[in-house]
Amino acid sequence: MAKRDFYEILGVSKSASADEIKKAYRKVAMQYHPDRNPNDKEAEEKFKEAAEAYEVLSDADKKAKYDRYGHAAFGPGTGGGAGGYSNMDDIFSQFGDIFGDDMFGSFFGGGRRSSGGAGRARGQKGSNLRIKLKLNFEEIAKGVTKNVKVKKHVLCNTCGGNGAKDKNSVQNCGTCGGSGQVRRVTNTFLGQMQTVSTCPTCNGEGSTVTSKCGSCKGEGRVYGEETISIDIPAGVSEGMQLSMSGKGNAGERGGFAGDLIIQIEEETHPELQRDGLNVAYDLHISFSDAVFGTQVEVPTIDGRAKIKIPAGTQSGKIFRLKGKGFPEVQGYNKGDQLIYVNVWTPQQVSDEERQMLEKLGESPNFKPQPTKSDKSFFDRVKEAFS
């Protein structure tokens, strides 16, 4: 099923401010919150959908990419930069703060949602990674899947990411009792006021490690290598960035993984040049071929094509191969291949050739006689880009 527009999900316009986007997400999240809609799968999916939309639209860089390229800016199957949330607890951990420290719990009655410690903070999030990916013209035109080996921090297989030597080396925090939070009640002239803050002992994780894992030294991650399959949509261009959520460096002690940012680079084609969606080729023909006409073979993005050069073709003539250019990312338009004809002028001639050319130059047929159908250089350029 096609992904819905993120602005439509939150009910805001593209010109909405960060504060308006935040308020809109709060409203949608409150409407479809699982505690308000128990055992309602449709509401749960809309709750996840809203979180995914908010992750992109609340980030200035991701929002700019989404505005320009749509869902394709983050690569097919990457969840629009949010990864597509499958775990409700991840949403509560990542976005609960926009409602206040204790929204996803006390507001709906009695403590945070809990599913094996869901209310606790997770370890430190991993950093983003950036890689450059070179593509040739054919890969850009058709789209491609690339398997790339990336050196980065990966989850420690020994401890499973918690940083502990074994399961007996993890215990509930004695300060917060495993909640990850400490509450304090103070008396003010308005009465008693309760504040909730992150536990300073366990940093909100709710547990402490008494004996660290020998493989990762308690970090929950090690430096290694991962082969990542990257889906590149057709029509990408030089400098465009795609994002894969959760494919960056692994977080410490179970923290969220960072994102993988892929920057597109175009390989130089030996014969063709790219101009937006169009592709250009300079065709050089001889004077005799321009006079009598000929048939030539020209390179294209995906092979070669034959074109007919009519008799009397002038230098500067532009031929167009419809639909032989690049497709538009997330669109239906497709560029053309433009073939620029250049009549080759000999730079050296023999005495015999000079005499022949001097004689031909006296003929009326070799005198320039442009007609209205012979467009000027500027008219041809304007026609090529219209």
What tokens were used for 115? 């599913």
DSSP SS3 for 207:
strand
Return the exposure string of 278-302: e unless at least 16 CB atoms fall within 10 Å of the residue's CB, then b.
bbbbebebeeebbeeebeeebbbbe
Tokens 């007919």 found at: 308
Task: Write 244-247 long-range contacts (CB < 8 A, 24+).
Answer: 244/74, 244/75, 244/78, 245/55, 245/74, 245/78, 245/79, 245/81, 245/82, 245/83, 246/83, 247/129, 247/150
What tokens were used for 138? 């054919």
For the chain, list the strands marked E by DSSP.
129-135, 144-155, 170-172, 181-188, 191-198, 207-209, 221-232, 241-244, 260-266, 273-275, 278-285, 294-300, 303-309, 318-321, 337-343
DSSP SS3 for 377:
helix
List the end-to-end C-alpha distance of the chain, in Å, as a whole number: 35
Q: Annotated binding site for Zn(2+): which residue ranges?
A: 156, 159, 173, 176, 199, 202, 213, 216
DSSP 164: B
Q: Annotated binding site: which residue ranges?
A: 156, 159, 173, 176, 199, 202, 213, 216
Rounded-to-5 percentages of helix, strand, coil across the chain: 30, 25, 45
What tokens were used for 240? 């465009």
Pairing between β-strand 337-343 and β-strand 318-321 as defined by DSSP bridges = antiparallel
Return the exposure string of 112-147: e unless at least 16 CB atoms fall within 10 Å of the residue's CB, then b.
bbeeebbbbbbbebbeebeeebebebebbbebbeee
